[in-house]
Structure 1
Amino acid sequence: MFQSFEVTSAPEQGPPRLAALREIMEAEGFDAVLVPRADVHQGEYVAPADERLAWLTGFTGSAGFCAVLKEEAGLFVDGRYRMQARAQCAAEITPVAWPETQLSGWLTERLGAGSTVAFDPWLHTVKEAAKLREALGRKDIRLVAVDHPVDRVWTDRPGPPEAPFFAYPDKMAGETSANKRKEIAARLKDAGHRAVILTLPDSIAWLLNIRGSDIPRNPVPQAFVILHDSGRAELFCAPHQAAEVTDHMGPDVAVIEKAGFTAALTDLDGPVRIDPESAPERVRALLEEAGVEVAEDDDPCLLPKARKLPAEIENTREAHLRDGAAMVRFLAWVDAEAPGGGLTEIDVVRALEGFRRDTNALRDISFETICGAGEHGAIVHYRVNEETNRAVRPGELLLVDSGGQYLDGTTDITRTVIVGEPEDEHRRCYTLVLKGMIAISRARFPKGLTGRDLDALARYPLWTEGLDFDHGTGHGVGVYLSVHEGPQRISRRSDTVLEPGMILSNEPGYYREGAFGIRIENLLVTRKARQIPGADDRKMLDFETLTYVPLDRRLIDTSLLSPEERDWIDRYHADTLARIGPRLDGAAKDWLTAACAPL
């Protein structure tokens, strides 16, 4: 199994660990210490060695941070994680609604003039540090850079990852690393930048056409790269990690010990480009202390990486069809086994991974499978473990959000199904969520819009009933890279223009605490829309669906659907049967045929 079900933290661990940290705070004269869920590379995901937030608080969610004061500890989490935070943390750790409550305001309400707030500048971005320093400075509160104090009390901290990197075939990437570096170098020259510092693991993986296993579930290398305007680059990592990719990268990429990164920064000629959204504050400080001119601008790999090349799109189509067939086998199995009442959430997760493994192409799951039965479905990022595992009972909704990492693509799909017979409220809420998912799938929109402009389409059917959900409608997805990829997304906070080739999830939901959760998710790729005869010549975009797995027709209240929505569902099911059916036989194919019958 890729997934384990061990209990990795417990609420009772928090108080003694906070006490140990506060002893250091007292000795050093700190009034507060910031504990982010971050590492020196500033990607979304971290290795076990960097799980400081989970170790200290017990909270294992993939986003959040803690501010530890002498008498109080605030755990800042968004709407996806508030139930989880309450369940995983001791009472003396207070969940704080973020971003509704900003860290700077929370701190200035509790700290007086002359107070000091300790932070590790490797674990906060340039933008975060600047914003916080300015806000605290107005109240005469100092932000003090330190090596993180948690590392001094975390005595059994795991070592850093050291697995070898491996080559990603140029044919699958759609472009050679040399050509990618040439293209990015030309952009640096046009901007007047002599070099760029890259810290994001997926940017480095994309640029060099390499992959790694330093981060669980995400095939990325943890390293640093300095790319010069000549196209030459230095890769900073443990040399043994790069031994298998040196020839693949070519002579213009030098491999240097990771410990040499800071010294290399001080030898650069400026202007040197750093992305304030992802570069650690310590990188900026080192450059400026050495007198190197700094230019703040976007990571130049982000948009080229997000705009998938034709080879990447073709590859990922195949990955989704393969994964779709595995999902159909799984759903047919659930339909046959779950109504008997003998399954648990762990049984379901194990079975799903087994169906994916049967493809003989699965390299890993793309994230820890979210499998929530009944009330657990309302915990947006619920991870079942040996303590929380419960039976899958007849009459309940079962939410399964999962994905696979294949060499040709990364998948992410959510299906909510009924075990047995649904209640009317199940059908009403499911159909409202489905209407939002269909609205995004059918969207046709002018070129130049962002995900923020589309987000309301997914929410409107819920809004009409006084309902909503506390997460974005969709995130970017890589191709055998991170299952959460920026900068593209469908969200109220997205300001990235959507462009052809960008892959996005489409996953509206509804969650009723203590009762059930509903989420329906397909992946889409943005494309140029077909010209409508007689329309003006405005350039339009729309989405191609990548995910083909049936929806649960038992949960669809057709009286709530428009004719266009009914037609979309029937066309989607007909396409699913045509694309997935030839990959199946026996009972699974019979189940698919019935599941895809017209409404």
Structure 2
Amino acid sequence: MTVVAERVAKLRSLMAEKGIDAYVVPTADFHQSEYVGEHFKARKFITGFSGSYGTAVIAKDDAGLWTDGRYFFQAENELKGSGIRLMKMFVGDTPSVTEYLADTIPEGGKVAFDGRVLSMGEGQEYEEALAAKNIAIDFSEDLIDQIWEDRPALSDKPAFFLEEKYSGESTASKLNRVREVMKENGATVHIIASLDDVCWLLNVRGDDIDFFPLLLSYAIVKMDGVELYVDDTKLNDQIHEELAKNNVTIHPYNDIYEDIKKLCSCETALIDPMKMNYALYKNIPCSTVEAANPTILMKAMKNPVELENIRKAHIKDGVAITKFMHWVKTRYDKETITELSSADKLTSLRKEQEGYIRDSFEPLCAYKDHAAMMHYSPCEESDVKLEAGAFFLNDTGGGYYEGSTDITRTFVLGSVDDQMKKYFTAVVRAMMNLSRAKFLYGCYGYNLDVLARGPIWDLDLDFQCGTGHGVGYLANVHEPPTGFRWYVVPSKNEHHQLEEGMVITDEPGIYEDGQFGIRIENEFIVQKGVQNKYGQFMHFETITFAPIDLDGIDPEEMSKTEREWLNNYHKDVYEKISPYLNDEEKEWLKGYTRAI
């Protein structure tokens, strides 16, 4: 029996004691964060699956892990020997978690979970799906905590204040804007449980989640002040002073669950079903208004100071990536370079850049067949040496005071066959097609996604994930409410039209299981163009500058317009990046930004 199988057996024993038919373990902390601190990695603990997205259901005689196409290959490998089945979301007749529970649990049975790690919206879906069979829901049970003997403690790392020269807007201004939206919704209080929204609103950042500089906290915004729930020992004097200016009162982190019960019944609370946990929602005693947190759209539409900072961050990041590409392509066949050592090298190059804080997410450095797993991240057990005749995919990002970056480049090591070049060129064309888009205001990401998928669909291929996502400013690297995909996934919270100032990625790819993976990713800013009798035209400003490996390009597969775009892009890359390189790197970059 594997370690994971033993853990599942212990969990089932506890379930039997408490009369529980199925226990649900999502990938979340108390704030519905996409990535979580070590303390909250309960789903990884009980399944062995290390991907960033998925939900486990442990029933009496069955167990499943639901995840999406990014992780199918990885999950199949990591679940071996666990007795847990892979449930491929959005594929064929795979039931959803709620459909599975409704079909599997007997009449009058019981489903349990820790209500702090399930969203309010999900909890309501469970209620609706299970009511017909009179299945009880127990949201007070953290059973994982009872079997996780060496569970890591909550983070106690210090926070820092993000000055206005970086944020571009004072906390007072942000609070005024939020209160105006509260008034429009007839709300007297606004409960915020999502970390990036609290941190953006109060201009604070922390160190409580790997890679994401966020602070474990909750906030209740009132018309005359703010109640902030946080570990006060993390806050320095500057933060205390800034919070005091805005009448922010500090309370212990976990006190919110009892304090929320004390809200006056005369109040009306504005809450976001996608951004609040189920347990917190069930404790609210007053009437509620359900709407998206107003901070979501506010922080997605970057202000001029943030945008100028973000452009600077991307130049710094482009320098690091270009130096990294030169290092890999000139040395992989002369010395031992592995996936892990290359990730360390890239982080060290980013650290050389002024204003660097940390990587913005876990580096995804994937060689050859590993790159077919869309979100593969190397570890000591899987680490391999880079050799000629294959692709090497790098999806990484840097967190700077000037903003966060997300960039993917796929390098050609040695020579590859004509089909691989054809696929590589198709991915580059896909990325370019979307970045060149001109469209009318009011378009959503799913209106434009076909521009990126077209060159790949022409090959009767597809990639089983979105094409792009919003990027936060020193916050979540995956930021709603806008992204690119051809279908709507409600849980992704990406159904908002493209607005001026949004920063979004463009990252199509091709992934062949057991062979290779290709992804090319740039970021751009949504900009206004011409306004005339037809409406407001919009376009994208590319802000990522690093060479695209010409060793993978077949110019015959590209149109004249596409070649011109790539040549102009590479001209910009050389002009912006070369001043920061040494002579050898500069000469090398000339070759990899040459006109084709």
Q: Distance in 2 between matches of 1:274 and 1:171?
A: 31
Q: What is the match of residue 227 of structure 1? A: 221
Compare 336-345 and 548-557 and name the one that shifted more.
336-345
Q: For residue 429 of structure 2, what is the amino acid of its counterpart?
A: K
Change (3 A) 1:144 1:260: closer
1:279-327 Cα distance to aligned partner (Å, 9 max, x none): 111122111xx3x111111111100000000000000100100110111
Q: Distance in 2 between matches of 1:282 and 1:295?
A: 17
Q: Give 2:384's match in structure 1, choosing from 381, 390, 397.
A: 390
Matches within 5 A, 1:418-567: 418-491=412-485, 492-493=487-488, 494-530=494-530, 536-567=533-564
Q: Secondary structure at the match of 1:122?
A: helix
Q: How much does 1:402 deviate?
A: 0.6
Alpha carbons 2:217, 2:253 under 8 Å: kept: yes
Q: Secondary structure at the match of 2:36?
A: coil
User: RMSD over aligned Cα, in angstroms?
Assistant: 1.4
Q: Secondary structure at the match of 2:184?
A: helix
Q: Give 2:571's match in structure 1, choosing from 540, 559, 574.
A: 574
Q: For residue 86 of structure 2, what is the amino acid of its counterpart?
A: P
1:522-556 Cα distance to aligned partner (Å, 9 max, x none): 1111110245xxx6441011111110001111111
Q: Distance in 1 between matches of 2:330 and 2:466?
A: 33
Runs of 5+ in structure 2 lacking a partner?
489-493
Q: Distance in 2 between matches of 1:188 and 1:146?
A: 31
Q: How much does 1:397 deviate?
A: 0.6
Q: What is the match of residue 49 of structure 1? A: 39
Q: Secondary structure at the match of 1:539?
A: strand
Q: What is the match of residue 3 of structure 1? A: none
Q: Distance in 2 between matches of 1:89 and 1:586?
A: 49
Q: What is the match of residue 68 of structure 1? A: 58
Q: Distance in 2 between matches of 1:463 and 1:254?
A: 54
Q: How much does 1:98 deviate?
A: 1.4
Matches within 5 A, 1:4-19: 12-19=2-9
Compare 183-192 and 311-320 and name the one that shifted more.
183-192
Alpha carbons 2:427, 2:456 under 8 Å: kept: yes
Alpha carbons 1:284, 1:294 under 8 Å: kept: no
Q: What is the match of residue 238 of structure 1? A: 231
Q: Secondary structure at the match of 1:529?
A: strand
Q: Distance in 2 between matches of 1:444 and 1:229?
A: 41
Q: Distance in 1 between matches of 2:231 and 2:368?
A: 46
Q: Distance in 2 between matches of 1:90 and 1:143?
A: 30
Q: How much does 1:73 deviate?
A: 0.9
User: How does the TM-score come out when normalised to structure 2?
Assistant: 0.95
Change (3 A) 1:468 1:475: same
Runs of 5+ in structure 1 lacking a partner?
1-10
Q: Distance in 1 between matches of 2:388 and 2:58?
A: 44
Q: What is the match of residue 150 of structure 1? A: 144
Alpha carbons 1:186, 1:229 under 8 Å: kept: no
Question: May I ask how many residue pairs the two structures share in their alignment?
Answer: 582
Change (3 A) 1:361 1:174: closer
Q: Give 1:297's match in structure 2, choosing from 291, 296, 304.
A: 291
1:94 and 2:91 matched: no
Change (3 A) 1:376 1:341: farther
Q: Give 1:260's match in structure 2, choosing from 255, 263, 272.
A: 255
Q: Distance in 2 between matches of 1:73 and 1:299?
A: 34
Find runs of 4+ consecutive structure 1 residues off by over 4 angstroms.
none
Compare 192-201 and 452-461 and name the one that shifted more.
452-461
1:188-213 Cα distance to aligned partner (Å, 9 max, x none): 11221001111111111110011100
Q: Distance in 2 between matches of 1:334 and 1:241?
A: 40
Q: What is the match of residue 7 of structure 1? A: none
Alpha carbons 2:70, 2:375 under 8 Å: kept: yes
Q: What is the match of residue 357 of structure 1? A: 351
Alpha carbons 1:30, 1:116 under 8 Å: kept: yes
Q: What is the match of residue 132 of structure 1? A: 126
Q: Distance in 2 between matches of 1:115 and 1:98?
A: 25
1:419-474 Cα distance to aligned partner (Å, 9 max, x none): 01121111111111111101110011111111111112111111111000011000
Q: Distance in 2 between matches of 1:293 and 1:434?
A: 51
1:101-132 Cα distance to aligned partner (Å, 9 max, x none): 31122223322212211122111111111112
Q: For residue 547 of structure 2, what is the amino acid of its counterpart?
A: P
1:585 and 2:575 matched: no
